[in-house]
Amino acid sequence: MDNYLAGLATEGVNPETQNIDTCTTEEMVALINRQDALVAGAVGAERHHIAQAVDLIYGCFRRGGRLIYLGAGTSGRLGVLDASECVPTFGVDPDMVQGYIAGGDIALRHPVEGCEDSEEDGIALVDGLEVGPDDAVVGITASGSAAYVLAALRRAKERGSITIGVCTNAGSRLEGLCDVTIAPLVGPEVISGSTRMKSGTAQKMVLNMLTTCSMIKLGKVYGNLMVDLKASNKKLRDRALRLIIHATGLTPEEAETFLEGAGGHVKLAILMAKSGLDREAAQDLLDRCEGRLAQAIDQGKKEA
């Protein structure tokens, strides 16, 4: 028996749910819901570390670097999910936020036995990506002990990158390898050791914050509107029009005209509508303001 694993809070037996197998369906749902309600508080207790990590990631983005998630099992899947959502949500290049799972993409759907224990694979991934000082590597592991993740973080640190750990246990093996470790203490799982549950929920909440806050700081959001979205399907195009209407007060027909004139770029369409500038001039102004729409609108008023 591994004494480290045996001592993890997430491996303990939850006294609140020890009779869940004899509960009615509604009682089971209520028990799980009560346990899930504890997760937000655990994540909130880590807000200082989360903010530190956001500032480090933002600094990497400002230098042209990348955010790279890596993990095994549920943790790896959550990293890939968060990375893939950044492209349509914030209109970023797919290389800017990347997610990797031990065992490769097949492990997203099917368990690949033993892959989380492969230090060699973790090292090879980091070397293959040529991570460096401008990159932030985030290792996600509920236990804080997955060999694939630890080896990858160790190698990333040797290559000079920012290293960030996300786990759900205190005093994990991540801490000596990371510039910041984020560890929401969610306690024993509803089903003993099933870290896809509270641990997974906590990790998802943390990753949401890391990317969302970093993108806000980059100017990808105007107010609370996702103005850098890529209108890649009917739903997103409809959302794009509603965003323009909300931000400008235009009619749907006018919003459609500006969106077309901006080449489908919501942020540019809003600036054109608010400033009266043509596409080229509005893009120049937006570039000078580093993509920050509120700043570009204010600057446009000063220059008018």
DSSP-assigned beta bridge partners for residue 138: 69, 164
How many whole angstroms separate alpha carbon 170 and alpha carbon 282? 50
Catalytic site includes residue 113: no
254 catalytic per annotation:
no
Q: Is the dihedral of CA 35, 37, 38, 39 positive or negative?
A: positive
CA gap 166, 168 in Å, rounded: 7
- What's 179's DSSP letter? S
Where b means 16+ CB within 10 Å and e means fewer, 154-173 reads bbbbebebbbbbbbbbeebb
Cα angle value 133/139/145 (rounded, 5°): 130
**Which one of the listed residues 11, 46, 116, 189 is annotated catalytic?**
116
Q: Which of 26, 85, 130, 290 is catalytic?
A: 85
CA angle 40, 73, 192 (to 5 degrees): 60
Q: Which residues are catalytic?
A: 85, 116
